[in-house]
């Protein structure tokens, strides 16, 4: 993917060193936004025009990563979601998929190259979904126009 800098990524984690590590590793490749809490993450989603990929840690105080992803779904359904965790918990994986609509579940510590590739693939899915919505809208409009012309011919 050549246009990585146009990908907006939000990373939510309560551990400052993880946020700094993520920012240091990816700020030259993506537009990186970081938040130390779910509440701060929501504020960023509300203020930044298009967040394409949301990455969150699972184990955070107040709200888990899955709870955060689930809570933003109604207002921000488009970003592709990635869950990071240092713990292998099958119930968390199942919850992530079912409740938070998570695209990928990645264990900490992440490998920069693997995470970069997964972010780029997530953005590709985001872009394809957006294009699909736009094409569907164009098709609906074209169908309405055809129906109108057909009614005009039948008069």
Phi, psi of 55 (to 5 degrees): -115, 135
Considering only 15-19, 92-96, 140-144, which range has the smallest mean pLDDT?
92-96
Residue with tokens 């592709």: 80
| pLDDT at 4 exceeding the cut of 90 | no
| pLDDT at 1 exceeding the cut of 50 | no
pLDDT for 99: 67
| pLDDT at 5 exceeding the cut of 70 | no
Task: Spell out the domains of the chain, with CATH numbers in brackets.
Answer: 4-154 (3.40.50.2300)
**Closest residue by Cα to residue 14 from 108, 117, 96, 115:** 108
Residue 95 CB partners (closer than 8 Å, separation 6+): 66
pLDDT for 49: 86
106-149 pLDDT per residue, tens: 888 899 999 999 999 999 999 999 999 999 999 999 999 999 98
Beta bridge partners of 107: 85
Residue 6 CB partners (closer than 8 Å, separation 6+): 31
d(C-alpha 82, C-alpha 9), whole Å: 10
18-77 pLDDT per residue, tens: 999 999 999 999 999 999 999 999 999 999 989 999 999 998 999 999 899 999 999 999
109 preceded by cis ω (within 30°)? yes
CB 83 within 8 A of CB 14: no
CB 104 within 8 A of CB 122: yes
Element (H, E) at 130: helix 112-154
d(C-alpha 19, C-alpha 32), whole Å: 10
């Amino acid at each position: 993917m050549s246009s990585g800098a146009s990908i907006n990524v939000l990373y939510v984690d309560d551990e400052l060193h993880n946020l700094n590590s993520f920012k240091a590793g990816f700020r030259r490749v993506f537009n990186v936004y970081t938040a130390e809490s779910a509440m701060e993450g929501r504020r960023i989603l509300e203020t930044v025009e298009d967040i394409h990929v949301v990455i969150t840690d699972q184990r955070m105080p107040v709200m888990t990563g899955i709870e955060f992803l689930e809570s933003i779904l109604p207002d921000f359904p488009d970003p592709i979601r990635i869950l990071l965790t240092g713990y292998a918990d099958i119930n968390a994986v199942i919850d992530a998929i079912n409740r938070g609509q998570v695209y990928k579940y990645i264990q900490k510590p992440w490998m920069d190259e693997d995470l970069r590739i997964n972010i780029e693939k997530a953005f590709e899915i985001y872009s394809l979904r957006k294009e699909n919505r736009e094409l569907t809208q164009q098709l609906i409009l074209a169908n309405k126009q055809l129906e109108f012309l057909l009614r005009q011919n039948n008069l």
